[in-house]
Amino acid sequence: METAPRFRSAGGVSAMEEAQRRALRRGRPRVVAELRVEPLWGLLEERGLFTRSMIEDLQSAGSRAEQARQLLIDLETRGKQAFPLFLSILRDTEQCNLADVLLEASEHPPAVAPSRLQDLKPLQLELPGEKHKKALNSLERLSIPVQAESDRPQTVPSRGLAADRRSHDLVYEVRGDPCGYCLILNNVTFSQGSGLTTRKGSDVDCQKLEKRFKALCFQVLTRWDLTAQEIVLELQELAQRDHSALDCCVVVILSHGCQTSHIQFPGGIYGTDGKPIPIEKIVNYFNGSQCPSLRGKPKLFFIQACGGEERDRGFVVDCDSPPDKAPGGSLESDATPFQAPPGNMDELDAVASLPTPSDILVSYSTFPGFVSWREVSSGSWYVETLDSVLEQYACSEDLLNMLLRVAHIVSAKGTFKQIPGCFNFLRKKFFFMSK
């Protein structure tokens, strides 16, 4: 399925105005959910918005929702008159409510946050002599706030630059608000018979990630203290939702973990009843055959759990690492001994439903087989660092680059060492949105 505009504007046709493009993007979730596409095809061709071959291409996009989504994306390429013509077609096909949604979105652009304007300072121009004074006087008379280079946030590019990066052929399209679901599974308290300890500090992780992913335009769903079966049901329920109007999906799991037998993705996580679930089983609920409405869209998994019992003391290098306290007191791990799943639980399902993975990234808090450290007061090293990196760089860097930063920072902590890593099957760069 195409996820970027495929048609260029015809020669001599002026480009669609930015307010109109923004309206199509802001209104996309509502329009994709409700648009009746069948009555549109004849009128779209009759009024010159699309050729017959273009319409046939749109009709082959998949389900009704997928056709509607691709129609809105391609509409942005059809020139300045495309937006009003599309509104008139909506009204002619008795879909006036959707026309009103788009018209209102085009007439009411998002407001600029006042706090951002207050941060701007007059530019200290480095011009010689009188020319310097005249330039400064001109700026003062015009009351133009100009931001000096030294005052600019170095990690946040202009929206124009960010938009340019996101329009590239090798960049996933992430434009909707919300752009997708973010399911957070936070297991803190485990049953007495499980033999697993309470994960103190995990609520700190959960609160940070809830706030962070809401700021990144996700609809956050949080679930606490679930058994293995309840976790499976939550994952299946999310995979069965209609993601056609959305751009991606995120699953975050905070729990005890262990080694498990696997084919693709190592490791497993525990339900509160002490029963393990292989990571690859979790991932494959969202593959192309199990979750058709996420085909071609990025599925991101963040796993804060131990990969085993090994404790890494690291090795000596010829450079200084930031000092950090040794494990002890409030420092805990999420490790449990390796346990093969009882009988053939999970294995047959995982083997039978494993297509070649695509558009999937699984980020692990630690290397397979090793423990993952968590502070009682400040949460886990991995989540604390991930949250900080997302806050600083999500507006300017792609996900893989940010995960390199996370690995670099976490690897320098503590007497015992920890190195996050990921299994990456994305086909393009992924940039988050931000409000």
**Would you say 296 and 3 are in contact if contact means Cβ atoms under 8 Å apart?**
yes
Helices 82-92, 64-75: crossing angle, 10 deg rounding: 150
3-state SS record for 284-342: HCCCCCCCHHHCCCCEEEEEECCCCCECECCCCCCCCCCCCCCCCCCEEECECCCCCCC
Round to whole Å and give the CA distance between 412 and 419. 9
What count of other Cβ atoms lies within 10 Å of the Cβ of residue 392?
16
Round to whole Å and give the CA distance between 33 and 15. 27
Lookup: tokens for 254: 């905070």
For the question of residue 256 being annotated catalytic, the response is: yes
| Residue 117 DSSP label | H
Torsion angle of the four alpha carbons 98, 104, 109, 115, in this order, in degrees rounded to the nearest 10: -110
Of 269, 258, 273, 277, nearest in space to 193 by CA: 273
Q: How many CA atoms lie within 13 A of 208 on its CB side?
A: 21
**Would you say 54 and 75 are in contact if contact means Cβ atoms under 8 Å apart?**
no
Round to whole Å and give the CA distance between 430 and 435. 17
3-state SS record for 139-197: HHHHCCCCCCHHHCCCCCCCHHHHHHHHCCCCECCCCCCCCEEEEEEECCCCCHHHCCC
Beta bridge partners of 382: none
Residue whose tokens read 């037998």: 261
Sign of CA dihedral 224, 230, 235, 239: negative
For 36-67, b where at least 16 C-beta lie within 10 A, e where not — what string?
Answer: ebeebbebbeeeebbeeebbebbeebbeebbb
What count of other Cβ atoms lies within 10 Å of the Cβ of residue 172?
22
Could you say which of 179, 217, 248, 256 is catalytic? 256
For the question of residue 306 being annotated catalytic, the response is: yes
Could you say which of 182, 248, 249, 306 is catalytic? 306
Of 283, 260, 266, nearest in space to 341 by CA: 260
Residues with active-site annotation: 256, 306
